[in-house]
Amino acid sequence: MDWLEILNTKKLALLGQIVRRKGYVTEEQIREALEYQKSLENRLPLGEILVLKGYITEENLLGAISEQSGIPCLSPFDYDVGDNISLIIQKEVVKRYNIFPLDKKNNILWLVIADPYNREMFAVVKDLTLCKIIPFLALKTEIERAIEEFY
């Protein structure tokens, strides 16, 4: 079973509950963030709003998403990236979805992602590579920096 199939069947804890339980935010801060979210024309995810308002750090958010999704965190800079990494997925695709391929062996692709809930990204990458995807989470800024350095 690949991550896209797991994502379609997994019951997820609410992110607000996770960050509250970890003591990163108060109930009042979550309410404020949800009210702000409702007021936006283009809805942002709750986690992004909590970071934007300065209630939590990006690292806190990444840890909470990791707990929520069950996907481990791995910086692209903590892995020995091969020279042929840019041959796995085109630069335009990695930039569009903010992803970074770490490795590909047989038909298994190790992929660093920022958004584990982007079904479109998983479907596109699976179609392009014909691989089973093993996802890892990293900060958006780390992925962007890795793309610039390795592509």
What is the enclosing helix (H) or strand (E) of 137? Answer: strand 132-137
- Which of 151, 135, 4 minimizes the C-alpha distance to 71? 135
pLDDT of residue 3: 65
Burial of 39 (0-12, 13-18, 19+ CB in 10 A): exposed
Q: How many CB atoms lie within 10 A of CB 100?
A: 29
What tens digit of pLDDT does each residue of 132-150 get?
999 999 999 999 999 999 8
Q: Tell me the pLDDT band of 2, cut-offs 50, 70 and 90.
A: low
| Residue length of the chain | 151
Beta-sheet strand order (sheet of 132-137): 99-105, 108-113, 132-137
Does residue 88 surpass a pLDDT of 90?
no
pLDDT of residue 41: 86
Is 0.95 topped by the overall pTM?
no
- Which of 69, 121, 66, 123 minimizes the C-alpha distance to 95? 121
